[in-house]
Structure 1
Amino acid sequence: MRLRLPSERPTEPPTGYKIAHPVLSQDGTRAGFTGVSLGGALPYGVVAEAACVYGLRHRPPHRRCDCGFHCVHDRAAAEALLCADEHRGAVLLEVSVLGAYLRFERGFRYARQRVRTVTVGRCACGAGACALADAGWGRVGWRGLAPACEACARGRGVAVSLGGFARLAGDGVRVVGGGGIEPGGAGAGPGGGAVVDGLGVPELVAEAALLQARLDWFQAQLARLGQRGDTAGPQG
């Protein structure tokens, strides 16, 4: 006789923790995440539904498959994953577990999720991060991002402030620095900068770096068009 665990019917969605890489769409209008292991090739948004990465037609989470979203119960366990070399540029997500789920000793495997809070760690140089900048890798149509301070964000080409990432991701997600400071709030901004019109000085620097990168691209395109016009010669 096979014993089955009792079904759970929680009054509120369970809370879980996981890590992911932040990503920005090629046109810079959308923000999302990619997983760090299984399913990492499939970017997802703040509110997302899982699909079987093996292309099977069953609905995740299937008991005889490992498809579905994954998270752990303990925040400290998720933070420990950020110590691995390959995960240093990832961020910590606090999620609501939605839909059907399977409970395990350390976490859940489940069908749907809502990302509630994104916690961004420090820049690779050790300074507090005020932006998410080009990480030097990506997926088709998506550019990988990593935490960056205001100095490092200037040299990355593409960067978006923490508040800007939250606006692009949408659905009410909160993006906070490692110290728990939420961009746009009162007091000092990430890294201790003063707030100007609801944004910290480091955030404004990151936004300026992003605008400068777009301006450089625009000027390069104009120069290219000008060169083509010069070489075309007179037309009769």
Structure 2
Amino acid sequence: MRLRLPEERPKEPPTGYKIARLALSHDGARAGFTGISLGAALPYGTLDVAHCVYGRRHTAPHRRCDCGFHCVHERAAAQALLCTGGHRGAALLEVTVLGAYIRFERGFRYARQRVRSVTVRPCGCGARASVLADAGWGRPGWRVVEGACGGCAGRRASLRLAEFARLAGEGLTVTAARPDFVPGTPSEAMGVPELVAEAALLQARLDLFQGELARLSGEGAGEEKG
């Protein structure tokens, strides 16, 4: 007897998370995405249908193939993928899973998707990204772009985040992630517990400095009396 997986018929399309590179068509008229592994050679749009990357004629996702769009259930799991060196320039995507899908322990493999929102990582210098600048590489017909601040973007070809969203269409929203650490702005980089600990450390150093200053002042006064 052949066992079949239970079928799901949710009232609302499932939500998933993934990471991808942002891309701009060579003529600058379209914005899209390119995957980080298996589907990297096939850029896709905000609302798109998956195709078999091996060129087979079956409909994705096929049970005997690993084709189709991929995403994970949890946002934190997708964010963790951004820690690896090869994925530092990728963006975090929130997607709606459409059409047929296969559920796994950590995510979905599915036929169609709508990218709802994009979160762009901070610039390589640590500042919040204000533009998407040419990353210096791409795919045939597509240039990969990545988050950058105005200073680091320099003379590279770039566009505003809102302009990328407009070109991508389908109501996509693009936002810049808050920097994990920005030199010179401790109030944005640290929370209340960290600031309290820093203040206590500064107070301890001040007490030590005042004690040494009092000791040196006392020794100086003793030498004058002699």
Measure, in 2, the Cα distance between the counterparts of 1:6 and 1:23. 37
- In structure 2, the residue matched to 1:175 is 174
Deviates more, 1:137-146 or 1:91-100: 137-146
Return the offset for 1:153.
1.6
Return the offset for 1:152.
1.1
Q: Percent identity?
A: 68
SS of the equivalent of 2:151 reads helix
Measure, in 1, the Cα distance between the counterparts of 2:115 and 2:166. 14
Measure, in 2, the Cα distance between the counterparts of 1:29 and 1:56. 30
Q: Give the partner amino acid of 2:114.
A: R
User: RMSD of aligned C-alpha atoms?
Assistant: 1.4
- How many residues are treated as equivalent by the alignment? 180
- In structure 1, the residue matched to 2:154 is 154
* TM-score normalised by structure 1 residue count: 0.74
- In structure 1, the residue matched to 2:131 is 131
- In structure 2, the residue matched to 1:76 is 76
Q: Give the partner amino acid of 1:19.
A: I
Measure, in 2, the Cα distance between the counterparts of 1:41 and 1:5. 31
Pair 1:48 & 2:48 matched: yes
Return the offset for 1:3.
2.8
Pair 1:63 & 2:53 matched: no
Return the offset for 1:137.
0.5
5+ long unaligned stretches in structure 1: 181-190, 192-236
- In structure 1, the residue matched to 2:27 is 27
- In structure 2, the residue matched to 1:224 is none
Return the offset for 1:43.
0.7
**Greater Rg by CA:** 2
Return the offset for 1:50.
0.3
Return the offset for 1:127.
0.8
Q: Give the partner amino acid of 1:51.
A: H
Q: Give the partner amino acid of 2:22.
A: P
Return the offset for 1:6.
1.4
Measure, in 1, the Cα distance between the counterparts of 2:140 and 2:152. 25
Return the offset for 1:177.
1.1
Return the offset for 1:128.
0.7
Return the offset for 1:4.
2.3
Q: Deviations over 1:144-185 (max 9, x none)?
A: 111101111223x210111111011111000011139xxxxx
Q: Give the partner amino acid of 2:64.
A: R
Measure, in 2, the Cα distance between the counterparts of 1:152 and 1:119. 19
Q: Give the partner amino acid of 2:170.
A: D
Measure, in 1, the Cα distance between the counterparts of 2:3 and 2:52. 27
- In structure 2, the residue matched to 1:36 is 36
Measure, in 2, the Cα distance between the counterparts of 1:115 and 1:12. 16
Aligned 8 A contact 2:131 2:159 in 1:
yes
Aligned 8 A contact 2:34 2:44 in 1:
yes
5+ long unaligned stretches in structure 2: 180-187, 189-226
Deviates more, 1:120-129 or 1:91-100: 120-129
